[in-house]
């Protein structure tokens, strides 16, 4: 017994020590326990390597390369040379390295870890800010009523949740850390959250396409906070205390792991292709941007030739000619699953031959050999007038009386919000 308390269990749940103890404490206690009681003294053994400096040398006072955890957390006298990273960033470093071997730590490494923590924090801030008027009890949208991209996101979220849970169960914290970071950067920031801005910022408050996106963001937030809580506890609790809707628990550490139903994977191969085309468009856009043909992506329209018939059909199913910015929307279009929204460009045209792309787009073309999608992508300046609210170019801008510089879609949203403010006399 320890201090008069309850005795520790035998055998122990876990032995945790450095890899040098395989021939030390692990072995000596094993031999003693087996000889005396016929069983191993532990249920699980978890070993770790040693912490080295940034160059891979063993830390030594004589070398002056010992790194004090307090210095990492609080910083040194010269904050420019020795910045304060905080406890959360140090914990993220611990979780991000494969402790089964020797690990390195130093200023440059901690700066990289700090950048990863900042990206996770920015993701949380984006989500929290866009849930400001969302009440899960009244505004949530059913899965069957969601758009294709929302269903894909929920399926991807369930996959990531499973990966993180499995990593935690196996004490492979570096896998959990990588899954969280990659999900925040690759799936959310670089794609879903980027294309979500249009419906979150442009749509009327009660627009179904906006509420569906908020429903997805709420589920993403539930998973992210539970996943980062063991690694970034202060960040997780800070976000929890700023949730804009009522929750049952006062702390993220009382809430536990999400119990919501997992969603099936949804057309993952098709969406992987769509995202690869989007990446190709962004690469091609840089050429036009350097020559100042376009500024933002919405200044452009793109022409795409897809040699593979199956892949072309994937894009064709996400193209709604002329129905994107009109109001009311056609019943066949949900206002989200359109290539112009997914690529954030003002126009998308699928053509049957490479010559058509070359003819229209001149020199702003990404050859098939350089394209991850295997498609030929070209960019040109968009036609029509620019909507001052959503920034899409369209021939329909200015067709609503009293709203001369916006498209019909934005005119509807403005009127739903009470119209334009009165002009001072």
Would you give per-residue pLDDT tens digits along the chain (425 residues)?
455 666 678 888 888 888 777 778 888 899 999 999 999 999 988 888 888 888 888 888 888 888 899 999 998 888 888 899 999 999 999 999 999 889 999 989 999 999 999 999 999 999 999 999 999 999 999 999 999 999 999 999 999 999 999 999 999 999 999 999 999 999 999 999 999 998 999 888 888 899 999 999 999 999 999 999 999 999 999 999 999 999 999 999 999 998 888 899 999 999 999 999 999 999 999 988 988 888 899 999 999 999 999 999 999 999 876 656 676 677 777 778 889 999 999 889 999 999 999 988 888 888 888 888 999 999 999 988 898 888 999 888 877 877 888 888 888 888 887 776 655 55
The tokens describing 305, both together, are 């030739």
Buried b (16+ CB within 10 A) or exposed e, 158-171: bbbbebbbebbeee
What pLDDT is recorded for position 422? Answer: 56
Q: How far apart are CA 231 and CA 51, in angstroms?
A: 19
Query: How far apart are alpha carbons 377 and 348 in whole angstroms?
Result: 10
What per-residue confidence (pLDDT) applies to 87? 95
Closest CA to 301 of 350, 234, 249: 350
- Span between the terminal Cα atoms of the chain, in Å: 83
Q: Which residue(s) pair with 304 in the sheet?
A: 350, 377
In this structure, are residues 376 and 365 in contact, taking their beta carbons and an 8 Å threshold? yes
**Residue 90 CB neighbour total at 10 angstroms:** 18
Residues whose CB falls within 8 Å of the CB of residue 286, separated by 6 or more in sequence, listed in order: none
User: 246: buried, middle or exposed (CB in 10 Å: 19+, 13-18, 0-12)?
Assistant: exposed
Which residues face 403 on adjacent strands? 400
Q: Which two tokens stand for residue 348?
A: 């998308």
Could you tell me where the beta strands, DSSP code E, fall in 228-335?
Answer: 300-305
Per-residue confidence (pLDDT) for residue 9, from 0 to 100:
83
Q: Is the pTM of this model over 0.85?
A: yes
Burial class (CB in 10 A: 0-12, 13-18, 19+), 11: middle
Please enumerate, as own/partner, the contacts of 254-257 that have beta carbons within 8 Å and a separation of 24 or more.
255/225, 255/226, 256/226, 257/165, 257/226
Tell whether the torsion through CA atoms of 333, 334, 338 and 341 is positive or negative: positive
pLDDT computed for residue 399 by the predictor: 79
Q: Alpha-carbon distance 375 to 305, whole Å? A: 6
């Amino acid at each position: 017994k320890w201090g008069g308390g309850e005795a520790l269990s035998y055998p122990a749940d876990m032995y945790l020590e450095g890899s040098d103890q395989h021939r030390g404490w692990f072995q000596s206690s094993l031999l003693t326990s087996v000889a005396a009681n016929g069983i191993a003294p532990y249920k699980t053994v978890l070993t770790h390597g040693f912490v080295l400096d940034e160059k891979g040398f063993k830390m030594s006072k004589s070398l002056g390369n010992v790194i004090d955890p307090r210095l990492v957390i609080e910083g040194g006298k010269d904050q420019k040379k020795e910045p304060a990273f905080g406890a959360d960033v140090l914990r993220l470093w611990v979780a991000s390295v494969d402790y089964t071997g020797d690990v390195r730590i130093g200023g440059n490494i901690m700066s990289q870890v700090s950048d990863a923590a900042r990206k996770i924090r920015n993701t949380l801030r984006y989500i929290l800010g866009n849930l400001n008027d969302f009440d899960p009890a009244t505004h949530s949208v059913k899965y069957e009523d969601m758009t294709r991209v929302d269903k894909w996101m929920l399926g991807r979220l369930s996959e990531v949740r499973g990966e993180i849970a499995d990593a935690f169960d196996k004490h492979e914290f570096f896998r959990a850390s990588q899954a969280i970071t990659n999900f925040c950067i690759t799936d959310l920031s670089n794609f879903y959250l980027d294309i979500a801005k249009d419906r979150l910022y442009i749509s009327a408050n009660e627009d179904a396409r906006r509420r569906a996106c908020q429903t997805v963001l709420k589920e993403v937030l539930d998973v992210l906070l539970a996943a980062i809580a063991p690694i970034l506890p202060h960040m997780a609790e800070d976000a929890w205390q700023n949730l804009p809707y009522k929750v049952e628990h006062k702390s993220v550490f009382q809430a536990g792991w999400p119990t919501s139903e997992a969603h099936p994977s949804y057309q993952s191969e098709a969406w992987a292709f769509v995202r690869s085309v989007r990446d190709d468009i962004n690469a091609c856009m840089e050429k036009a941007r350097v020559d100042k043909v376009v500024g933002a992506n919405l200044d452009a329209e793109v022409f795409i030739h897809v040699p593979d018939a199956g892949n072309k059909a994937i894009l064709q199913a996400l193209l709604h000619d002329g129905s994107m910015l009109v109001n009311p929307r056609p019943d066949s279009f949900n206002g989200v699953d359109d290539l112009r929204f997914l690529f954030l460009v003002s126009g998308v045209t699928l053509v049957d031959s490479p010559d058509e792309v070359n003819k229209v787009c001149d020199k702003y073309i990404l050859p098939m050999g350089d394209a991850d999608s295997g498609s030929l992508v070209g960019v040109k300046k968009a036609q029509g007038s620019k909507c001052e609210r959503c920034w899409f170019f369209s021939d329909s801008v200015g067709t609503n009386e009293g709203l001369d510089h916006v498209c019909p879609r934005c005119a509807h949203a403005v009127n739903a919000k009470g119209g334009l403010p009165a002009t001072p006399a």
